[in-house]
C-alpha cells in the first residue's frame, strides 16, 4: 500500500484501500500517486493490476 505523494512502484491500476472503487492508473512506473479523492475513507493506494512489461 502506498501513500499519496509516493512514487508508484510499477505501472498499472491502483485502487484506494477503503474499497470504495476509487481508481487510478498509470503507465509509467515512478509516477507520483495523486491525493485520494474528496470523500474517500482510504489512506492510500494499493496496486490491483500490474501491467505486463512494467518491471523493466
Ligand atoms: Zn476511495
Is residue 3 assigned to a domain? no
How many other CB atoms sit within 10 Å of the CB of residue 22? 18
Confidence of residue 55 (pLDDT cuts 50, 70, 90): low
Is residue 35 assigned to a domain? yes
Distance 32 CA to ligand 1 centre (A): 17
Distance 2 CA to ligand 1 centre (A): 13
The pTM for the full model equals 0.85
Distance 35 CA to ligand 1 centre (A): 10
Is residue 26 assigned to a domain? yes
In this predicted structure, what is the pLDDT of residue 25?
A: 96
Contact 18, 42 (CB under 8 A): yes
Is residue 7 assigned to a domain? no
Distance 44 CA to ligand 1 centre (A): 9
Tens digits of per-residue pLDDT, 27-43?
A: 999 999 999 999 999 99
In this predicted structure, what is the pLDDT of residue 38?
A: 95
Is residue 39 assigned to a domain? yes
For the chain, what is the domain count? 1
How many other CB atoms sit within 10 Å of the CB of residue 33? 18
> Counting Cβ atoms within 10 Å, is residue 51 exposed (0-12), middle (13-18) or buried (19+)?
middle
Measured distance CA(19)–CA(36) in Å, rounded: 12
The domain containing residue 24 runs over which residues?
A: 12-50
Tens digits of per-residue pLDDT, 8-23?
A: 999 999 999 999 999 9
Amino acid at each position: 500500500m502506498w501513500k499519496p505523494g509516493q512514487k508508484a512502484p510499477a505501472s498499472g491500476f491502483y485502487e484506494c484501500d477503503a474499497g470504495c472503487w476509487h481508481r487510478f492508473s498509470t503507465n509509467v512506473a515512478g509516477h507520483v500517486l495523486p491525493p485520494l479523492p474528496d470523500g474517500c475513507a482510504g489512506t492510500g493506494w494499493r496496486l490491483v493490476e500490474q501491467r505486463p512489461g512494467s518491471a523493466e
